[in-house]
Amino acid sequence: MPSPTRILILHTGGTIGMAAAADGYRPLAGFPERLRQRLESSADHPASDYDIVELPPIDSADLRPAHWPAIAKALLAHWDSHAGFVVLHGTDTMAWSASALSFMLRGCAKPVVLTGAQIPLDAAGSDALDNVRGALHFAASPALCEVSIYFGGRLLRGNRSRKLAATRLEAFASPNYPALGEAGNGFVLHDEHLLAAGERRFCVPVYDDQAVAVLTLHPGFPAALVDALVANPRLRGIVLQTYGVGNAPQGDRELMTALERAAARGIVLLNVTQCLYGGISQETYATGSALARLGVVAGGDLTLEAAFAKLHLLLASTDDAAAVRRGMGETWCGEMS
Ligand code: ASP
């Protein structure tokens, strides 16, 4: 059978396909037709042939972990018939979904490129067509064997990306990893930063939306918040967003005891930094060592989004907390330095 050359565009929602309503932007029906028409009528229409399919379009602020398998399954339904994939997604949770897809499609030998827009396709000054054209270009690049985000002229590793700008067209960055490619005079792929094709280990689990929660420390953080979370019997993991290299208020006995109670109840505690650059080193300060003593797993330089998505996937795949902790310590698809 000849290798496929067509690209699949999967529309999941987001500003790219929205229109203004009385209460603000909302998804508008009929986006695939409008996109096709705009791509075909523009002077530099895409070089590759493509198909467009759609999930019920949502504002990605409404996305829950339970949506992730639907996206993965829609891609897998076309996996053998297409050479690459463009996922149109709202920008608000694009980095979360890109991270989740990277772990579900571990070892994918084909490009999966998420993109979207800050300004709807049909609005003046929209960044939609530029983003879709770039994503289509990179989705046709066989050297790209990973889940990425193309946005505002840059191709970034999906599980390293974060939405940093609420309205700027260059909305995303990957603070702890170089860009995989960019637009300039044509499109350039930085081969030296790409993930090598690995063993295919696809895993599309059933996620429990309530299995993982995020706690962001702040001065005076109430221990009662930890206890309130732990009271939820469905909670199995907490991503702790701590200060700097992984420090927490060790002197707050109430908080430390609450975390200890969470650990004793079998909840996996994962430490990531609130900083954009760098990662966790729990042994540097006594305030970090206190967490290490509680058995908190050091999350290296994982982004919050990647930490959350990976912990979710592990907890959805096994009941063995030791296996979850081990998995968090491994680098699966370039998510950690
Ligand atoms: N609220 C929108 C969404 O995430 C924002 C966007 O797409 O830019 O769906």
Residues 154 and 267 in one domain: no
For ligand 1, the distance from its centroid to the CA atom of residue 26, given in whole angstroms, is 9
Q: Has residue 98 been placed in a domain?
A: yes
The residue-averaged pLDDT of 100-113 equals 97
- Between the CA of 113 and the centroid of ligand 1 the distance, in Å, is 17
Q: What is the pLDDT of residue 291?
A: 94
Position 104 scores a pLDDT of 98
Task: Pick the residue whose CA is nearest to atom 7 on ligand 1.
Answer: 90
CA dist., res. 85 & res. 83, Å (int): 7
Per-residue pLDDT tens digits for 29-85 = 999 999 999 999 977 777 789 999 999 999 999 999 999 999 999 999 999 999 999
Q: Could you say which of 148, 170, 202 is where a domain stops?
A: 202
Last residue of a domain, one of 202, 220, 243: 202
User: What does the pLDDT look like over 15-30, one tens digit per residue?
Assistant: 999 999 999 999 999 9
Residues 172-195: what's their mean pLDDT? Answer: 97
User: Percentage of the chain with pLDDT > 90?
Assistant: 94
Closest approach atom of ligand 1 to CA 94: 4
User: Could you tell me the CA-to-CA distances from 247 to 115, 229, 244, 261, 298 in Å, in that order?
Assistant: 34, 21, 6, 19, 11
Query: 298 CA to middle of ligand 1, Å?
Result: 31
The residues, any chain, with a CB within 8 Å of residue 77's CB and separated by 6 or more, are none
- Tell which one of 11, 12, 15, 71 to mutate to probe ligand 1, the residue whose CB is within 8 A of the most ligand atoms: 15
Q: Looking at ligand 1, which atom is closest to the CA of residue 93?
A: 4
214 has a pLDDT exceeding 80: yes
Q: Are residues 169 and 284 in the same domain?
A: no
Of ligand 1's listed atoms, the one at least distance from the Cα of 118 is 8
Within 6 Å (CB) of ligand 1, which residues are found? 13-15, 59-61, 90-92, 116, 118
Which residues have a catalytic role annotated?
Answer: 15
Task: List, as one string, the DSSP characters of 79-110.
Answer: TTT-SEEEEE--STTHHHHHHHHHHHEET--S
Residue 310's nearest CA partner among 159, 163, 122 is: 159
CA angle at 218 for the pair 271 and 91, rounded to the nearest 5°: 70
* Rounded average pLDDT over 241-252: 96
Q: Which residues pair with 290 in a beta bridge?
A: none
Are 13 and 110 in a shared domain? yes
Residues in the chain, total: 337
Residue 59 C-alpha to ligand 1 middle, in angstroms?
Answer: 6
CATH of residue 78 = 3.40.50.1170
3-class DSSP state of 277? coil
- pLDDT tens by residue, 153-164: 999 999 999 999
pLDDT at 1 over 70: no
Q: Residue 302: which domain range?
A: 212-328
Domain count, the chain: 2
Kindly state whether residues 151 and 268 are assigned to the same domain: no
> pLDDT averaged over the chain?
96
Mean pLDDT confidence for 294-303: 97
Asked whether residue 231 is domain-assigned, the answer is: yes
Residues 182 and 107 occupy one common structural domain: yes
DSSP letter for each residue of 177-218? S--SEEEESEEEE-GGGSPPP---EE------TTSEEEEE--
Residue 15 alpha carbon, nearest atom of ligand 1: 7
Residues 157 and 228 in one domain: no
Residues 141 and 181 in one domain: yes
Mean pLDDT of 276-297: 93
Residue 45 is predicted with a pLDDT of 75
Report the C-alpha gap between 179 and 191 in whole angstroms.
Answer: 10
Q: Which residue has the higher pLDDT, 14 or 42?
A: 14
State if pTM tops 0.85: yes
76 and 173 share one domain: yes
Q: What percent of the chain has pLDDT over 70?
A: 100
SS3 333: coil
